[in-house]
Amino acid sequence: MTAKPRVAFFSDIFYEVNGAALTSREFVAYGARNEFPVLSVHPHTETRLFDEGSVRYVELQRSLATVPVETDFGFDTLMWRYKGLIEKELDNFQPDIVHVVSPGDLGLLSIVIARGRKLPIVLGYHTNLHEFARHRLEKALSFLPQRFIDSAGKMAEDQSLSLLLQLYKLACASLAPNREYTELLEKASGKRSFQMTRGVDTIGFNPEKRTRTDDKFVIGFVGRLQPEKNVRTLAEVERILLEAGETGFEFLVVGSGPEQTWLAENIKYLKLPGVLRGEALAEAYANMDVFAFTSTTDTFGNVVQEAFASGVPAIVTPHGGPKFIIRENETGFVAADAAEFASHIRMLIRDRVRLAAMKQAARAQALEATWDRVFDGVYKAYDYCLQRA
């Protein structure tokens, strides 16, 4: 296509502190930067309608009937009250295609509206909601025998995933952060799935932001301190390091959530600065020596790329999307358990020449990950759907 399509972009999260919200903001910025027509519909603390260049913003306040999903966002059971307003904005904007970031409260409403208008839908996959369901249920049932907890958790995960995948049959195509999920979506929906990775701000996140001058070895983590992030593994890593006689290290855990108190009580050498943003976050990353990302549910792992941009190699689990970012033995490692996390960390503590090389390689990899390249690929998915339409 010669002219860029008019995109109605619906995101359930936009201003929150997570990878999907960051990607949504970057997509809208990409549209504005290139003067592409975008109608961005997303939640905010108040309802506002305004234009900035080629972008039309429709920001919707969630109601008191919102059910919490995470510490900073939820599912508004009354989101449908905005249907008339959204329909009016679509009448004025006249989109060619609808991009739904995820099937949340606003996402479900936008799918219904788009189907009614016979507009092609591109549906994203950013969050393993089925795994969230399992972790939340298992935590709620923690007072029961483990055998029952495991069985109920698996049932919740399987049923949630089955229902979630049904939605992707309604789309023309889907977007997923790695090949594991594109294959899953294509098999379940019978529709084309495009890989949509993530970019990273290599100016904001930069090794030059490092302010530490001591010899302490800092093991970092950034993210929500929730059960699915598996952060209690960090306490086990510390225990193994101490038993092996390692000293002079410290954990820097950036974020907040229900696991924060447990971490404070169970990790001896720990700094918990809470949620950081802007320069404070960039400085925290740059002051790390290795990034230990214990999450088992992330579909991509923006924080891993932010660590790379800051010149920090990463260790991740074999579950979810971060393993696809790692270049094994070059920019990081994939570790199956706490013992492997600790083993890789011990090696880097003892081999500072190897650490320095991995830091340089991590920064070099981050420089390849531009948002423009990512969103150029998204527009190819739009073209695919519009050609089929």
- Considering the domain boundaries, does residue 1 fall inside one? no
Task: Give residue 140's Cα distance to chain centre.
Answer: 24
* 59 burial type by CB count under 10 A (0-12 exposed, 13-18 middle, 19+ buried): middle
- Considering the domain boundaries, does residue 131 fall inside one? yes
Contact present, 71 and 224 (Cβ < 8 Å): yes
Look-up of token digits 């010669």: 2
For residues 78 and 212, state if they share a domain: no
The contacts of residue 80 (CB under 8 Å, 6+ apart) are 109
For residues 220 and 182, state if they share a domain: no
- Considering the domain boundaries, does residue 2 fall inside one? no
Name the residue among 287, 280, 222, 282 with its Cα closest to residue 256. 222
Percent above pLDDT 90 for the chain: 76
For residues 374 and 335, state if they share a domain: no
For residues 248 and 178, state if they share a domain: no
SS3 256: coil
Q: How many CA atoms lie within 13 A of 332 on its CB side?
A: 31
Q: Dump pLDDT digits (tens) for 235-279.
A: 999 999 999 999 999 999 999 999 999 999 999 999 999 999 999
- Considering the domain boundaries, does residue 88 fall inside one? yes
pTM of structure: 0.80
Low-confidence residues in the chain, pLDDT < 50: 1, 130
- Considering the domain boundaries, does residue 158 fall inside one? yes
For residues 109 and 236, state if they share a domain: no
Contact present, 358 and 339 (Cβ < 8 Å): no
Contact present, 164 and 185 (Cβ < 8 Å): no
- Our count of domains for the chain comes to 2
- Considering the domain boundaries, does residue 29 fall inside one? yes
- Considering the domain boundaries, does residue 267 fall inside one? yes
Task: Give residue 25's Cα distance to chain centre.
Answer: 13
For residues 138 and 278, state if they share a domain: no
For residues 194 and 92, state if they share a domain: yes
Q: Dump pLDDT digits (tens) for 155-164.
A: 656 566 667 7
For residues 306 and 248, state if they share a domain: yes
Measured distance CA(68)–CA(257) in Å, rounded: 13
For residues 239 and 130, state if they share a domain: no
- Considering the domain boundaries, does residue 357 fall inside one? yes
Name the residue among 195, 254, 196, 250 with its Cα closest to residue 229. 254
For residues 326 and 382, state if they share a domain: no
For residues 187 and 219, state if they share a domain: no
Domain of residue 23 covers 7-199+370-388
Q: 53: domain CATH number?
A: 3.40.50.2000
DSSP 331-357: TEEE-SSHHHHHHHHHHHHH-HHHHHH
pLDDT at 166: 86
pLDDT at 1: 43
For residues 153 and 249, state if they share a domain: no
